[in-house]
Chains A and B, each alone.
With several copies, the nearest count.
Chain A
Amino acid sequence: MSVFVAVQCDDFCLASEYDELRRHSACGAVVTFSGLVRELSNNILHSMTLEHYPGMTEQALVAIAEQAQQRWQLGAVHIIHRVGTLKTNEQIVFVGIASAHRAAAFAACEFIMDYLKNRAPFWKKEHTAAGDYWVEAKASDQQALARWE
């Protein structure tokens, strides 16, 4: 089982991550999640800035990966989260899982995203035509944790 975690300003390349994940030859399933800066329907979002708590973020991501590893049989877990200013359609976050079986790969990938959304210290500030504002936490993200408990 290998864990790779990165917090970075630079963009990431899904293809490179996938190529590493599929190298685990006992793994028949690779699931990836990519989170992107979404263009809002009213089109007022210009960009967003991601703030984080350096040091704590990396530890939190490793802890989340390890929790997933304890619950499911996984070959590899990759988590990348970007910080800094990102424009519409840019990549924010990547989670990739390699596992022998698809059910474990899907569950671990969704589990990691649900925990990351609640436990990894990142905050989004949106820059819009109407001004800058901090994104409010969503109740749905908190509720998403319930099913894993």
Chain B
Amino acid sequence: MIKIRFFAALRERLDCSQYLLQCDSNSQSVATVLEQLKGHDSLWHQELSRTDLLCAVNQQLVPLSAAVRDGDELAFFPPITGG
């Protein structure tokens, strides 16, 4: 299982803060997982296709090419606006 988390505007638009994804392979890229999530419905497809989407694996910012493994925490969120 991969635990997926959404934050801020993305969380609101998807109306989802956590999502558990069955993990078929031992290791896959964030991009592959993202493609799977886009299949959820047309809203998810639209929101998860934004080019400014950021992602973190195990609470570290990573590019979409990064690997995700079973048991990892994967997060997607819009550009950061703190400070």
Contact = CB atoms under 8 A, between A and B. Distances in A.
Q: Do chains A and B touch in the complex (CB under 8 A)?
A: yes
Interface in B23-64: 52, 56, 59-61
Contacts of A113: 83
Contacts of B5: 53
A121 B56 contact: yes
Contacts, number: 73
B72 to A, nearest CB: 13
A119 B78 contact: no
Size class of the B contact interface (CB-based, 8 Å): 10 to 19
Given A93-B83, A120-B83, A56 B78 contact: no
Contact of B81 (A53, A55, A60, A134): A134
Interface of A: 35, 50-53, 55-56, 59-60, 81, 92-93, 113, 116-125, 134-138, 141
